[in-house]
Amino acid sequence: MKVISVGLLGLGTVGCGVVKIVENHQDKLMHQVGCPVKVKKALVKDLYKERLVDLNPELLTLHAEEVLDDPDIDVVIEVMGGVEDTRHHILRALQNKKHVVTANKDLMAVYGSELLAAAAQNGCDLFYEASVAGGIPILRGLVDGLASDRITKMMGIVNGTTNFILTKMNNEGSSYPDVLKEAQELGFAEADPTADVEGLDAARKMAILSTLGFSMNIDLHDVEVKGISQVSEEDLLFSKKLGYTMKLIGIAHREQEKVEVSVQPTLLPSDHPLANVKNEYNAVYVYGEAVGETMFYGPGAGSLPTATAVVSDLVGVMKNMRLGVNGKSMVTPQFAKTLKEKSEVMAKHFLRVHVKDEVGVLSHLTNLFSQNGVSFEKILQLPLKEAAFSEVVVVTHLASLQEYENLLGELRNKEFVKEIKSSYRVEGEVAV
C-alpha cells in the first residue's frame, strides 16, 4: 500500500486538529502503518473562511459526494456534527466500502447500532473513540484493555462545560447565571448551552459507554437525566458543610443482568478523586469484577485532544487494512437490555426543605421518613430570615428511588412543609 487517502467531512476546530496531527506526525504514522497518510479532500461550508491550518484550496469542496464517492479515498473522517444529514453521509461512505472515523456522540447515541451494523455488512470499520471524553481513550480501554473483565459500574464527569461551571461556583461562590456567562465568553459553553447544562450531552455519552461496557443496547431514552441549571450557591455551601462536592455525574450500574443509567448533579465526598477533577477536565471511574477500580482522566474537549483520539482511530483502521481484518471488530451485544425498576435503584440522597418553625415539626418529619422506609444519615436544622420557618437539610441512608420519590410526594402535600428547595443523589461515604 503506497499511500492511505483520507477524506474529511468538516474542517472546524477538530478537523483542523486532525490535519495538524496528520501533517506533523507523519513519521509516527509511517512507523505505525508503514505508509504515508494524506488528506485528499475536505468538505466545508465556506471555501474562503480563515482556518487554523493552511490547506491547499484545491483540497476543499462544498459537495459531500466529492468525498463520499471518490474511489481513491480509503477513510472518511466525520467531524462536521449534526445527526440526520451526517447519518446519510456515513451510510453512503460505508456503502462505498470506505472506513469511517467519527467524533459525533449525538449521532452514535441515536444511530450507533444501525451504523455499526452497516459497517459490518460492508466489511468496513466504524470507530468513534473521540465521541466520548475527548482525548481520553475510554472506549478503547473498555473494548480492548478491559475486554476480559466484567464491568459492573461506570461513574464519571463526561461534560467539560458543566464541570467548569460547577468548579467556578464551588471555588468562588459565584451564581450559576454569572458563571454560565463567563463560560460562554471563554468559549467553554455554546450560545445555546441547553445540551450541556441540562445533561443531554453527558446522557448521550453515557448511553455509548453503557452499550460498550455492559454489552447491551442502551438507548438515549433509557438514561435518566437532570441538569445543573437549578443548582444554587446554597446547595453548594451545604454540600461543603457536610463534607461533599457537587459534580454532574454520569452513572451506569449493573447488578446481575439489570442496569440503571443516569446523569444528574451528585454529591461526592470531597476527598473522592472525581471531586477533585477541575474545570473542563473529564474523568471516568470504571469498576470491574477482576480489575477492581480504574480511572481514566484527561481533557474532555479541545482541538488537539479530540483530534488525537480521531487520528488514533485512523491508525486502528490502517492497521486493520494491513492485516485484512476490517469490519471484523464489531461484536454484537451479548445481553438483552433489562432496566432496573425504581424499587431496585438504591442510593443516598441530599434534601433541603423549608418547614414551619413550630414544636413537633421535626418529629412529624422523622415519622414521615420512617413510614416511607427512608432514614437519616445526617440532619441539620437552621433558622431562616422568615421567623416562622426553618430549613432542614438531610442526607439519607440508602433507600430505593421508589421509596424516596414517594416520600417527596408526601412532603409536598404536608401542611407544615413550605417548600422543597432541592434534592440530589449522593455517592460514597464521607470520612468521619
- Choosing from 40, 153, 168, 205, the catalytic residue is 205
> Is the CB of residue 3 less than 8 Å from the CB of residue 36?
yes
Helix (H) or strand (E) holding 37: strand 37-43
Q: Is 406 helix (H, G, I), strand (E, B) or coil?
A: helix
- Cα angle value 134/250/109 (rounded, 5°): 60
d(C-alpha 251, C-alpha 203), whole Å: 10
d(C-alpha 270, C-alpha 248), whole Å: 14
Does the annotation count 258 as an active-site position?
Answer: no
Give the orientation angle of helix 361-371 with respect to helix 401-412, to 10 degrees: 140
Query: What sign results for the dihedral spanned by CA atoms 381, 382, 385, 388?
Result: positive
Query: What sign results for the dihedral spanned by CA atoms 222, 228, 234, 239?
Result: positive
Residue 215's nearest CA partner among 340, 119, 335, 338 is 335
The phi and psi torsions of 327 (rounded to 5 degrees) equal 80, 5
Catalytic center residues: 205
